[in-house]
Amino acid sequence: MAETEALPKLREDFRMQNKSVFILGASGETGRVLLKEILEQSLFSKVTLIGRRKLTFDADAYKNVNQEVVDFEKLDDYASAFQGHDVGFCCLGTTRKKAGAEGFVRVDRDYVLKSAELAKAGGCKHFNLLSSKGADKSSNFLYLQVKGEVEARVEELQFDRYSVFRPGVLLCDRQESRPGEWLVRKFFGSLPESWASGHSAPVTTVVRAMLNNAVRPSGEKKELLDNKAIHDLGKADSSLTP
């Protein structure tokens, strides 16, 4: 596959551009893995985490990571945190069980949309949104409806490049205990790979797809990567480290 062979060069060309990046939701499983891979690849000259609390890291690799602590209920007061970033990754999200229906909508729609608005105003050119398989603003299911709605509303902001990732069930060893998700992960993990890959995706595969996509030039203003595309791009090479 020509694109696979070109990935090391695409990464090197990308590094030479000295771009800056922010991550929303770095305390979650996907955001945490994304940060780790970004640092291992040294893709960006500046890495900033935007969140409601400061995260602590033991490894020396994290010493140059910038952190902006914000109040998501008053994001306009923290507009400066969103200024000067070339690329943004949004992995914000909660669950209805944890936050209630109103809290879920607040985080997964309102916080995400407001963050995207401030990022656009701050000069972000490429916005990456972690969504979900089946996202549809006309869905009868609140989760999928909210995901679909925020996808559409962020698109209206007209980023130079807007990439939406719609994985199936995320397979990970989440630090935060969610028993229902644990059972689902065990279920998908025991299925034949060909079937499981159509309905689930390991977090590492999603992260690799996000980064492999970011380093390759695109003439499309909007890119929608479904679960299969995530698997294909996330497995384009066996190692993210050049």
Choosing from 97, 147, 162, 235, the catalytic residue is: 147
Instruction: List per-residue pLDDT tens for the chain, 242 residues long.
Output: 455 558 999 999 999 999 999 999 999 999 999 999 999 999 999 999 999 999 999 888 898 999 999 999 999 999 999 999 999 999 998 766 776 788 889 999 999 999 999 999 999 999 999 999 999 999 999 999 999 999 999 999 999 999 999 998 887 754 434 444 444 445 545 555 554 556 678 899 999 999 999 999 998 999 999 999 999 999 876 444 43
Output the pTM of the full model.
0.87
Q: Which secondary structure element, helix H or strand E, spans residue 96, and what is its range?
A: helix 96-105
| Domains of the chain by start residue, with CATH | 7-232 (3.40.50.720)
Q: Are 161 and 146 in contact (CB under 8 A)?
A: no
Choosing from 143, 186, 222, 228, the catalytic residue is: 143
Q: Alpha-carbon distance 51 to 53, whole Å? A: 6
162 catalytic per annotation = no
147 catalytic per annotation = yes
Token duo for residue 39:
């640092």
Q: Are 106 and 71 in contact (CB under 8 A)?
A: no
